[in-house]
Amino acid sequence: MYAWIFRNLPGPVWVRILTCLVLVAVALVLMVQFLFPWFSQFTTLTNSTIGLVQQP
Amino acid sequence: MAHQQTTADSAVPSARRGQDQGPRRPLRASDVIRKVSQVMGELLITAGIVLLLFVGWELWWTNVDANAKQTEAVQAFAQEFTGPVTPQNPAEPVDFGPPVVGTAPAYGETIGIMYIPRFGADYTRPIIEGTGSDVLDTLGLGRYESTSMPGALGNFAVAGHRQTHGAVLDNIHTLVPGDKIYVQTADGYYTYVFRNNQIVLPNRTDVLMPVPTQPGVTPKESILTMTSCNPRFGSQERIIAYSILESWRPASAGPPSEIAAQVAQAHGKA
């Protein structure tokens, strides 16, 4: 799958390597900004309140 | 440069040729299985890496992020604070009368600062109104809105994370009876003394009562209750730490001498 994506990116090899790095960086930013905070609600590490007063 | 381009150009057609030859050969079931399992394998490896990144984010990055936001909140409070930040009469213990009880600010606003020397000489954390996850996940200690304000007869209760998001109460189990916990608000300094802790199930809302776990009893003391998760890195239970108000100083009298250096540092005057 990743090999197929790399083959089908435009440009010479070094451009494709740069494109890949940019794509990985974009994926990381999206994960840290949106995916991880959303997923965090399903982990129980962060439950430190008592009873049902968790949410306002 | 020109040489690089020719090699790159020649590499592209060869790759295309390889692809074109594929479909011409009759597609066997084993080819399909190999392709599918290859993609599945790559996706599973990706999922594993993403989960490891999530663990790193949760256990490390949320602390970096929350610590920065909490430092900002402390600085904002310090700028608004008008009293002196050095003890005005450190030698003589003076009775300043019954403590002033402030009014609760709006949800998400800063009530004051908590200093707990047992957690380190640099333990200077903001106390915020409310216990929603938006408060606890960045700003640390949140006051249960149903409980009293600092200094009032009854129960002043705050929640904080044991792990992640600043881990403000990570060391709650290291408190020893007699440890001082200092709360600074715009009105003054409230000194609490740690009494005991208790480990309860998460549904025990009676720990937030005016006299904790004793419904219907009229409070005669001012209690500080801190709640966090237990065990560390788990949340099957809650650890509750109770402290009793020992003394109070108005803001004009300056901070208690025990935390004078810490207060001065928090207010940028060290």
- Hey, are the CB atoms on B164 and A46 less than 8 Å from each other? yes
Chain B hits for A30, CB-CB cut-off 8 Å, are none
Confidence check: pLDDT of A27 > 80: yes
Confidence check: pLDDT of A55 > 50: no
Confidence check: pLDDT of B20 > 60: no
The ipTM, to two decimals, is 0.83
Percent of chain B scored above 70 by pLDDT? Answer: 89
Least Cα distance to B123 among B170, B165, B89, B91 occurs for B170
Confidence check: pLDDT of A51 > 70: no
Q: Which of A14, A48, A50 sits opposite B160 (nearest CB)?
A: A48
Q: What is the pLDDT of residue B90?
A: 60
Chain A hits for B54, CB-CB cut-off 8 Å, are 31, 35-36, 39
Torsion sign across C-alpha atoms B97, B176, B161, B63:
positive
Q: Which residue has the higher pLDDT, B12 or B262?
A: B262
CA distance B57 to B93: 47
Residue of A nearest to B36 (CA): A1
In chain A, what are the domain boundaries? 1-30
Q: Which of A36, A49, A56 sits opposite B57 (nearest CB)?
A: A36
CB neighbour burial string for B231-247, b if at least 16 within 10 angstroms, e if fewer: eeeebeebbbbbbebeb
- Average the pLDDT over B194-201 and give the result: 93
In chain B, what are the domain boundaries? 62-266
Are the CB atoms for B202 and A47 separated by under 8 Å? yes
Q: Which fold has domain B62-266?
A: Sortase; Chain: A; (2.40.260)
* Tens digits of residue pLDDT in B132-180: 888 888 898 999 999 999 999 999 999 999 888 888 999 999 999 999 9
Chain B hits for A39, CB-CB cut-off 8 Å, are 54
Average pLDDT, chain B: 87
Percent of chain B scored above 90 by pLDDT? Answer: 61
Chain B (66-105) residues lying within 8 Å, Cβ to Cβ, of chain A:
none
Question: Is the CB of A8 inside 8 Å of chain B's CB atoms?
Answer: no
- Hey, are the CB atoms on B146 and A53 less than 8 Å from each other? yes
